[in-house]
A and B are shown apart, each in its own frame.
Chain A
Amino acid sequence: MKTLGLVVRVALGLIFLAASWDKIADPVAFAKIIRNYQILPDVLINGAALVLPWIEVVVGVCLLTGFAVRGAGLSATLMMLVFLSAMAYAMHKGISTQCGCFTTKADDAISATTFLRDGSILALALLATVDSFVRARCA
C-alpha cells in the first residue's frame, strides 16, 4: 500500500512536470488557448498563462520530493477539477478549442480522449491526496 502510494505520487509529479513544459516555453500560445475557452476576462488571461504552469512545476516537484505533499496533492486535485470543468464548459458551449493540457500545439483539441486522460489524472490526484492525508494522520 505504501509502495502504491509512492508510485502514484511520483507518477502524478512527473505528469505535472511534463504538462508544464510546453506552456512555460510558449506562454503567448497558452494565453490564446485560455482566451479561447471564454471563461476568464481578458485582463486575467496572460497572468493565468504565466503563473499556472509554474504552479504545476511546484506541485510536480513537491509530489516527487514529498515536500508539502498534502498541499501538493490537494492542489493537483483542485487544478484537475478546474481543468475538467473548463473543458466541460467549452464542450457545452460548442467551443472548439485546444485542450492546453500538455501542449500548446494545435493537435490536442478537446475530445473524449482528453476527458478520459484528465479524468484518469484526477483519479491519480485523488489517490495521492487521500494517501498523503492518511499517512499524515497515521505517522
Chain B
Amino acid sequence: MAHGTARRMPPLWLELAVICVLGVGMSVVMNLARSEPVPWVADFAAQDRREALRKGLETIDASGAVTLFGKPGVVFIDARTPEEYAERHVAGAKSLPQETMYGDLAAATNKLGLSIEDRLVVYCGGVLCDKSQELGEALRTAGYPYVTVVTDGFDGWLAAGGQTEGGV
C-alpha cells in the first residue's frame, strides 16, 4: 500500500524544487513587468551618500563613527526621543531630539554648549529612521558647518561594538 503511494507521490525534494523555481521565476517575471524594475543588487552605501549629499550632509557608517569616538572636537548628537536616549545612548552623546528643530534650535544647541567648531556626529535609531538627517540638515542651516550623519544609527553603533551608557 505504502509502496504504491510512494511511487505516485513526487519526491519531497522535487516539491521543494518546484516551489523554489516557481517563486524565483515569478519574482523575475513580475519585477520585469514593473514600470521601474527594482535592481537585484543595490548599492545602499551609495544611496545613503546620495541622499545625504542632496541635503548637503556628510555621512559615515557606524564603524566609521566608532573611529571618531573620543577625538577632540567630536560631539555625538542623539536625535531620538528623550526616552530612547535615557534607555541607552552613545557614551557621552548629547540628547537633541529631532523635534527640537521645530522650536528654538539655537537655544537648545546653546544649552548643550555646542560650538560651531565642533564636528557634530548625529545619529538616530537605524537605517530606517530619518531623524538624524533631518536634524543634521537643520543644524547646518543653523550655522554648524561640520555635521556628519551616521547612516545606520544607534543600531549600527551597537552592532559595531561602540561604547554606550544609560539604561539598566
Give the interface of A toward B (CB within 8 A). 24, 27-28, 31-33, 35-36, 38, 42-43, 45-47, 49-51, 53-55, 57-59, 62, 68-72, 74-75, 93-98, 106, 136-137, 139
Contacts and interface: CB of A to CB of B under 8 A. Distances in A.
Contact of A58 (B10, B23, B31, B42): B23
Given A57-B26, A71-B12, A71-B18, A36 B128 contact: yes
A76 B31 CA distance: 23
A45, A71, A72, A137, most chain B CB atoms within 10 A:
A71
A91 to B, nearest CB: 12
Interface stretch (B90-98, B137-145, B155-163): B155-163
13 contacts: A35-B44, A36-B127, A36-B128, A43-B41, A46-B39, A51-B23, A54-B30, A55-B24, A94-B88, A96-B125, A96-B126, A96-B155, A106-B128
Main secondary structure of the interface of B (DSSP, over half): helix
Contacts of B22: 54, 58
A28 B31 CA distance: 12
A42 B38 contact: no
B15 interface: yes
B15 A97 contact: no
